Structure 1
Amino acid sequence: MHELHATLLALLFAAGKPLTLEDFAKLGHPEDTLLRSLESLAAKLSSGDTGVSLEYVARGWRLVVHPRHLAAVEQVLRPTPPKLSKAALEVLAIVAYHQPLTRAEIEALRGKSAEGVLDGLVERELVRVVGEKDAVGKPKLYGTTERFLITFGLQSLDDLPAMEEGPTLLLRS
């Protein structure tokens, strides 16, 4: 089990993105063995003694800075969160809570044009075309991406705050 922990840790470090159980399955170990090992590794890292912890996000696992060491990392590296305008956050929240929907539907909910903003979100890979609406002209349907989940630290869309709390809570991440 110790060797498997080391291998999983090396993969997580090298990947720089969440790895799914399917990714780890390429190692040839049974799924239950991999899950037990990931849980055990997460428990070992939870103390913060290594400076990192294991986080489950976007249907995968990734290494993150342990909360105990965030201040030091911020002091030295000064990481900057992705800068999104108020308009981009509005459109992103509309898409996240109402997907899939067309540009016209986004604009109707927002009350103003979303063309440039939506294009920017697609370019940043936070939103993508997920299909076409069965209507005249076959307008594109938009939805959020895995990068959206990763950026905002969500395991799935089910982790979004309830609507009555307001979509602006996406700013908390």
Structure 2
Amino acid sequence: MTHVFIHEAAHAVAALDRHIPFNGVFIQDLAGWVRWNATGLMLGGVQISSDPAIWLLPDPVAALEFVLAGSAAESVVLGHILEGSYVGDVEVWRRGMGETGRLSPSRLDELAGGSFVKVGSRTKAWVEENRARIRAVATALGGGEQMGFGIQAVGAGPWRLTSGQVAAVAS
């Protein structure tokens, strides 16, 4: 569970810092996790507009940093990422950019403003600088106590914070 709370909290804090409008962040209830294993549903997410013109197209590089923040936080904080977390997030960005096919490395660099690798490195550095804020949001999202970065979630979910609550906790 810690992976999912850290991943989604990092997305939420990244959305704040990049001025990407969102309604809130959520983690599915535990019963939803069982359904996810059977049907491929998400474990959680930041509730952004389904219209890429609102959250992605004003600044595609900031949007890329936002989508990379979840897996970057898993990697920086926990030393590894859950299978599929990186691929699924980048897929959302790729589709939002209007790309329907597989991207060549040069096209990916072009869409990333010059270097996809540099955006990833910059995002990891941002996670390092914002560990405390990400931890605070992950802890508040779980409604529990923080023990290092192990999140002790209260109840069986679902867990939610509004964008206003995220802003208050992350300040």
TM above 0.5, yes or no, is no
Q: TM range, normalised to the smaller chain?
A: under 0.3
Name the TM-score, length of structure 1 as normaliser: 0.23
Question: Higher RCO, 1 or 2 (CA under 8 Å, sep at least 6)?
Answer: 2
More helix by share: 2
